[in-house]
Structure 1
Amino acid sequence: MYTINYTIISSRLPLFNHIPGVPKFGLSRIRQQLVGKSTRKMAWSSNKCEQGIESVSGIVRPATEVYADEAVEALRAGKVIAVPTDTLYGFACDACNIEAVNRIYEIKGRKHTSPLAICVGDVKDIGRFAVTDHLPIGLLEGLLPGPVTVVLTRGESSILEKSLNPGLDSIGVRVPDSDFIRMIARGSGSALALTSANLSGQPSSVDIKDFKSLWEHCTFVYDGGILPAGRSGSTVVDLTMLGKYKILRPGSAKEETVSILERHSLQEAGAIV
C-alpha cells in the first residue's frame, strides 16, 4: 500500500504550500479531497477484484433489469446466453430456433436424445406450448413460479418446433421464481430452451465461476451471484395423466410439490389406493 508524503509533495507542488490571503483550512480540504478520491478509487478496485467481476471477452453482465433488453435481443438473434434461475445457472436460447438449440447440445456435449425443458415468463403462458385443461384449477399457480418442472403433453396446438425433443409428445416446462429470466422470457415473446450450465455429466453450477471454461461459447453470461438452493435442481413431476402425478426427479422441492399435488386431489401414479 502506497502512502502520500506531503512533505515531498509540498516541496514540489506550490499548491500545497500556504498562499498569502488563502485560509490554510482550504488547502487542508483540498488534501482531504484528493486523498479521499484516491482511497475510494483503490477501494473500488479492490472490491471489484474480490467479487471476481472479470471477463477478457467482456461478456459478463449483472443479472439486472438494465440488461434485460440486451438479453432479449441476443435470444432473438439465435444466440445462447447463461442465466441464473431459482435453482441453478442455465444455458438458454429461443426454443423455436433449432440452430440455437443444437448449439446448446454442442456446448454441453449432450446427446440429442436427452430432452430440454422450456421456460416461460408466466403460468398463463404455459397453455401456448402444452396441454393444461385436464389439470385442477389453481394447480399450476400453486406450483409455479418455483423450483418445479412440470411435464405436460404438447398437443396439436403447441407452437413449439417439432424439431425440439424429436420423438417426444411431452415437454418439461419451468417458470422459475427469478425475476431476470422471467423478464427475458416475457420479452422474447417465445419460450426459452433451458438446461443447466455445465458439461453433461458434470456437477451443476450455482456460481458463474463453476462453468467459466464454457463462457466463451455464450454471447452473454449474466451474474446473479451464488445461488442458495444447492445443486439438486428443480423437482420434475409428470402431469400428463388425468388425476395422477409421477415424480421423475426429487430435486429441491419434492415435499412441497407432493403436498400441493395431493391438496388438489392428484394421486401418485402406481400407488395402491
Structure 2
Amino acid sequence: MAQRIDIKGQRQDAITAACSVLAAKRPVAMPTETVYGLAADATDPAAITNIYTTKGRPRFNPLICHMADITMAERYAVFDPLSRKLASAFWPGPLTLVLPLKEDSGIHPLATAGLDTVGLRVPKGFAGELIRAYGRPLAAPSANTSGKISPTTADHVEADLGDKIELILDGGMASVGVESTIIKVEGETIRLLRPGGLAVDEIERLTGISVTRNAGASATIEAPGMLASHYAPESDIRLDAREIGTQEALIDFGQSEIKNRDSALVVLNLSPSGNLAEAAANLFSMMKQADASKARGIAVAPIPDHGLGEAINDRLRRAAAPR
C-alpha cells in the first residue's frame, strides 16, 4: 500500500520523499488546486510509461507537463505574445496552454503522444514547490484509473491506486475541483480544447478576443480530456433531470424543482446557494458519493452553462457518454 504523507505538517519530508521516488522513475500522487495528479518526470520515457501503465491510459492521449514557473516553461516551448500574456495573468493557476515544442526541448515524445506541441501548466502551491525542488517538469494526469472519476482528495487516490503506487502526498481537498482549462492560441484566435477551472469569460475579458469552441467531437486528440467518454462512474448518469426514478441518486444544484425528490436513494447538492465555483469543487467528490450509494442510476439536476458551469457540464456529458 502507498505511503501517505501530509504536506501540511511534513512539507519538507514530503518533497524529499517525492524527489526520491521521482528520481527512481516512479510516479507520485501529488495535490494540485485542480485535482490530484499522478506525477512523473516528463523527460524520462520509463517514468512516463509508468504513468500510462498505472492508469491504464491509452498512449495516444497526451499528458500535461507541469512547470515551476514561466521561466522553466520557456525552456521547453515557444511562446507567442498572446500566450505569454495569458501565462503572466493566470499562472500559477488552472490554465493549460498548448504550445509548439522547442527543438530538443527534452520533453519525451511519450508525454506529448508524438505531437509537435505540448500542454503546459504552472500549478499553485505545493506542486510548484515540488517541481522546483526536483528541477524538471512533471507530466501529471489525474491520479485515477483512466476514464474514471478524477480524485479531489488523497482518500480518492488511495481507494483507486493505493496498491499500485508508492507515495501519496496529502494536501487536503482540491480547491478548484475540476481539471484545468486548456486553450490553444492560433495567430489572433484562441481555441478552447477543454473547459476547466478557469472560466472562458475571464480569458475573453483579458484579451478582448472571443474564444472559439471545437465544433462537435474532434477527430484529432490535441490535449487531455477530449475523449468522448471520460470521468465515468460505475452507475449510469442522466443529465438535466426534472424528476427522480426508482432507486436513483440525485445530484442537485441550487434550489431546483425536482419531482419525486423524496424517493431518491441519496440526495447531494453541489451548491445549495447556486454558486458554480462551489459546485465545481464538489463535483467529482459528489459523483463518487452517489456512485458508492449503489443507486440504479445517478440523476443530475440542470446546471447553468455559463462561467464554470461550462466545465461542469462538459465533465457530466463525458461521464454520461456511451462507454
TM-score (norm 1): 0.71
Does residue 60 of structure 1 match 2:7? no
- Which of residues 191, 199, 208 in structure 2 aligns to 1:254? 199
> Do the aligned partners of 1:131 and 1:152 also contact (CA within 8 Å) in 2?
yes
Residue 267 of structure 1 deviates from its aligned partner by: 5.0
Does residue 243 of structure 1 match 2:194? no
Partner of 2:296: none
> Do the aligned partners of 1:60 and 1:223 also contact (CA within 8 Å) in 2?
yes
- State the one-letter code of the partner of 1:168: L
Does residue 124 of structure 1 match 2:71? yes
- Which of residues 75, 78, 100 in structure 2 aligns to 1:153? 100
Deviations 1:70-109 (A, max 9, x none): 2122212211100110110110000111111111111111
Partner of 1:143: 90
Residue 133 of structure 1 deviates from its aligned partner by: 3.9
- State the one-letter code of the partner of 1:224: G
- Which of residues 119, 126, 147 in structure 2 aligns to 1:201? 147
- State the one-letter code of the partner of 2:5: R
> Do the aligned partners of 1:143 and 1:257 also contact (CA within 8 Å) in 2?
no
Cα distance in 2 for partners of 1:161, 1:136 equals 22
Partner of 2:136: 190
Mapping of residues 1-273 of structure 1, within 5 Å: 57=1, 59-64=3-8, 65-66=11-12, 67-135=14-82, 138-177=85-124, 179-211=125-157, 212-230=159-177, 232-239=178-185, 241-255=186-200, 257-259=202-204, 262-269=205-212
Q: 1:104 to 1:144 in 2, by over 3 A?
A: same
Residue 270 of structure 1 deviates from its aligned partner by: 8.1
TM-score (norm 2): 0.60
Percent identical among aligned pairs is 30
- State the one-letter code of the partner of 2:44: N
> Do the aligned partners of 1:63 and 1:83 also contact (CA within 8 Å) in 2?
no
Q: 1:85 to 1:135 in 2, by over 3 A?
A: same
Larger Rg: 1
Cα distance in 1 for partners of 2:84, 2:110 equals 31
Cα distance in 1 for partners of 2:206, 2:175 equals 28
Residue 242 of structure 1 deviates from its aligned partner by: 2.2
Secondary structure of the corresponding residue to residue 152 of structure 1: strand
Residue 197 of structure 1 deviates from its aligned partner by: 0.9
Secondary structure of the corresponding residue to residue 58 of structure 2: coil
- State the one-letter code of the partner of 1:112: R
Secondary structure of the corresponding residue to residue 216 of structure 1: coil
Cα distance in 2 for partners of 1:136, 1:120 equals 15
Unaligned runs of 5+ in 2: 215-323
Cα distance in 1 for partners of 2:16, 2:116 equals 32
